[in-house]
Every structure is written in C-alpha cells, then in structure tokens.
C-alpha cells in the first residue's frame, strides 16, 4: 500500500470508530419514544420545590418548613404542582423527607432509613410544630388537587426495590395525578418494568467536579436503563450538551431549582417546566 492509501485507510478506521461511539452514545441517551399524556400536567408549569416553604411563608408570617403538610397545603391552595421526596423507613414505610441525614431539619443524627415511621413522625421539622409526614398523609392532604412530582431517595438496589414497592401500593390507590423521578436510574427502571403507565423521569446535573461514574450520569448515559419520559436537570447546567440533546430526542425537560427571579427569567427558555422555591421567584 502507498502512503496515501495507508492514510486513507487509517482515516476510515478513525471515522468508523467515531461513528460507532456516537451510535452507542445515542443509544444510551435516548429517552422514551412515547409522548406520555401526563406531560401536560407539568409543561409550562411552576412546580413548588418541597411545597411552598420558607421563613415567612405562613399566613401569619411565620416559618413553614419544607416537605411539611403545611407547605403542601399552601402549594395546593395556590394551584402549584408539588415536588417532594420519599425515603424508606426502618419498618418499610414510605416517608416524606429530603435529606439523607436528619440533622439539618430535625436536629437528630442518622438517616431516615434508621428509624421507624412512628419515630420519624415524632420529630419536629425546623423547630416548628410540623412533623415528618408519611407519604400516605401527604397523599390524603393533597387529595389530587394538584399534580405531584415524587423523587425517590435510595441507598442501593435493595432499598430501591423496597421503596418502590411500598410507595407504589399507596400511589396505586391514589386518585390524583403524579409522576416519579430519581437520581438513581434503577427507580425509573423499576417503574418501567412494574408500572409502565406511570410517567417516569431521570434527575441529573452536570457533575463536572465529581467521579467519572457521576459524569456519565450528568451526560444522561444511564437513560437506556429506563428510557425516561422526562429529564429534570440542574438549571445552573442548562447549557450541558447531553441534556439538550436528550431534549432534542424527545424528552420533556424540567429545570431545578429556580431560587431567584433573575435566574428564572434568564434560563426558563431552556426548560418545559420549572421547579422553584419562593413565589417571588416566578412572579
């Protein structure tokens, strides 16, 4: 072979490898082919992050803690869809709480998974009279008035399956609209397999300074596990090329968490729905 032929062959091999890598990446990123009818529940909507909460959020100007029944009541009364979080208790119940540790909100060390539901319900949120609610209590309080966007918090695959089983039993009997999401891709995968009719989403962020495994998550490379109907992405990373590609491929895009009006106005154009804190952010 001549030098030119060798160069052309090498270029063809490189091009072939690049095309193969692009095909693999597209296969991994691709969301669900369906356009779930429940997308309309969140499209163009401002979604209250952990309910309407804050230092002066109460009708009397008092504090309202996140993920409390009062925060959910305020959001539902205002017509805002609600984003919330669920953990699995030590006795296998679904409980509504955000952090992986209880210290910030309850002043107690340890995980929600280390305590029973009754123990958690006896704890106070943020020094108020509000207690840690169960998912069952939250569903009863909201009563289908507004859509729920429920994030599943898992420690591992075993916890994931148990939490999905526990929560889905309550949600199966719930008459109101809801969708599920998680950073842990095996949650939407569980729903894809066991509750395919439920709209499912993949949470993510840029993860630029974290491990390679987390960077792959930021690039939506685990979508192949569940083929999510939507992606919920950190609004600070709205320029991420993989997130935007996922949207081009058909996924609905939710942005989290808008905390000031300037960020909301400048970045809302990248998203189809907006998870926010503070009514002043979206007014």
Would you say residue 7 lies in a domain? no
pLDDT at residue 100, as a whole number: 96
**Is residue 71 within 8 Å of 51, Cβ to Cβ?**
yes
pLDDT at residue 150, as a whole number: 98
Q: How many domains does the chain have?
A: 1
Whole-angstrom Cα distance, residue 47 to residue 43?
10
pLDDT at residue 18, as a whole number: 85
Exposed / middle / buried, residue 44 (Cβ in 10 Å: 0-12, 13-18, 19+): exposed
Would you say residue 21 lies in a domain? no
Would you say residue 245 lies in a domain? yes
In this structure, the strands spanning 82-88 and 200-204 are unpaired
Would you say residue 1 lies in a domain? no
Structural domain of residue 62, as residue ranges? 31-282
256-260 contact pairs (CB < 8 A, 24+):
256/49, 256/83, 256/203, 256/232, 257/49, 258/282
Exposed / middle / buried, residue 212 (Cβ in 10 Å: 0-12, 13-18, 19+): exposed
Residue 230: which CATH number? 3.20.20.190
Which pLDDT tens digit goes with each residue over 169-196?
A: 999 999 999 999 999 999 999 999 999 9
Would you say residue 277 lies in a domain? yes
Would you say residue 132 lies in a domain? yes
Q: Please give the helix or strand (H or E) that residue 233 lies within, else none.
A: strand 230-234
Per-residue pLDDT in tens (0 to 9) along the chain, 283 residues: 677 777 767 777 777 888 888 899 899 999 999 999 999 999 999 999 999 999 877 777 789 999 999 999 999 999 999 999 999 999 999 999 999 999 999 999 999 999 999 999 999 999 999 999 999 999 999 999 999 999 999 989 999 999 999 999 999 999 999 999 999 999 999 999 999 999 999 999 999 889 999 999 999 999 999 999 999 999 999 999 999 999 999 999 999 999 999 999 999 999 999 999 999 999 8
Whole-angstrom Cα distance, residue 272 to residue 33?
18
Q: Which residues of 49-77 are buried (b: 16+ CB within 10 A; e: fewer)?
A: bbbbbbeebbeeeebbbbbbbbbbbbbbe
Which pLDDT tens digit goes with each residue over 64-104?
A: 999 999 999 999 999 999 999 999 999 999 999 999 999 99
What's the pTM?
0.94
Would you say residue 4 lies in a domain? no
Would you say residue 158 lies in a domain? yes
């Amino acid at each position: 072979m001549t030098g030119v032929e060798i160069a052309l062959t090498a270029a063809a091999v490189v091009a072939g490898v690049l095309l193969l890598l692009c095909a693999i990446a597209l296969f991994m990123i691709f969301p669900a082919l369906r356009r779930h009818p429940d997308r309309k529940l969140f499209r163009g909507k401002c979604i209250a992050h952990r309910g309407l909460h804050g230092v002066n959020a109460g009708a009397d100007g008092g504090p309202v803690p996140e993920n409390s029944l009062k925060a959910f009541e305020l959001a539902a009364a205002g017509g805002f869809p609600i984003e919330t979080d669920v953990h699995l208790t030590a006795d296998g119940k679904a409980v509504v709480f955000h952090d992986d540790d209880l210290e910030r909100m309850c002043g107690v060390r340890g995980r929600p998974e280390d305590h029973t539901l009754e123990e958690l319900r006896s704890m106070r949120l943020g020094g108020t009279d509000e207690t840690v609610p169960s998912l069952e209590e939250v569903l009863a309080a909201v009563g289908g008035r507004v859509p729920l966007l429920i994030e599943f918090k898992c420690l591992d695959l075993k916890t994931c399956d148990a939490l999905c089983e526990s929560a889905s039993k309550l949600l199966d009997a719930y008459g109101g609209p809801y969708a599920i999401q998680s950073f842990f891709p095996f949650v939407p995968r569980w729903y894809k397999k066991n509750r395919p009719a439920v709209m499912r989403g993949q949470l993510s962020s840029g993860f630029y300074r974290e491990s390679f495994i987390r960077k792959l998550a930021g690039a939506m490379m685990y979508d192949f596990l569940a083929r999510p109907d939507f992606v919920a992405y950190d609004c600070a990373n709205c320029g991420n090329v993989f997130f935007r590609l996922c949207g081009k491929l058909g996924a609905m895009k939710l942005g989290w968490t808008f905390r000031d009006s300037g960020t909301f106005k400048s970045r809302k154009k990248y998203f189809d729905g907006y998870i926010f804190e503070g009514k002043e952010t979206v007014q």
